Structure 1
Amino acid sequence: MNENLLGIIAGVLTSISMIPQLIKVIREKNVEDISLLMLLVLISGLSLWVWYGFMKDELPIIVSNSFAVLVNISLLICYTIYNKK
């Protein structure tokens, strides 16, 4: 298997992994079981992967992690909107 194809498949799978959680939060308007610290650490890590992708000029890393950053920022926005604490 081509290494770029492997990277793209891995990136797609990890990038879409949080979409079911985002959909659930939007439908239920409930973020009680979401950890703010986990979201912040995950967004930070994904952002560093994007930076690394730019440094290495690796499009699969850049695209997949950029998408994952956007999904998780959306979840963070929902967290701030729906957090009842």
Structure 2
Amino acid sequence: MNPEWLGYVAATLTTLSFVPQAIKTIRSRDTRGISLAMYAVFTVGVAFWFAYGVSLGSWPMIVSNVITFVLASAILIVLLRNKRAAG
């Protein structure tokens, strides 16, 4: 049996777990409880996971990290705009 299905299940669950928080943050624009340093490092880390997935040709890793990168980047942008507006 091909263990690739494990990657698909893991990628789906971890990406889906991130979606509700991303939607809530993007809709509410409330970033008071979010660390800028954490999100910056997290977003860069996701980009590296994507690159690693590309180097392996692992579709579960590629697709899940593209989705997570887009969502994390959106939150990071909202966070940066809020920090800038706060002065």
TM-score for the superposition, normalised by structure 1: 0.85
Call closer, same or farther: CA 1:33–1:52 in 2, change over 3 Å.
same
3-state SS in 1 of match to 2:65:
helix
Kindly provide the amino acid, as one letter, of the partner of residue 33 in structure 2.
D
Match of 2:66 in 1: 66
List alignment gaps of at least 5 residues for structure 2: none
TM-score by length of 2: 0.83
**RMSD of aligned alpha carbons:** 1.7
SS class of match (1:18): helix
Matching residue's letter, 1:14: T
Partner in structure 2 of residue 54 of structure 1:
54
Q: State the partner residue of 2:37.
A: 37
CA deviation profile, 1:15-65 (whole Å, cap 9, x unmatched): 122222222223332110011111111111111111111111111111111
Residue number in structure 1 paired with 2:22: 22
Q: Equivalent residue of 1:31, what SS?
A: coil
> In structure 2, how many angstroms separate the alpha carbons of the residues matched to 1:69 and 1:49?
10
Higher mean C-alpha displacement, 10-19 vs 41-50: 10-19
Corresponding residue pairs, total: 85
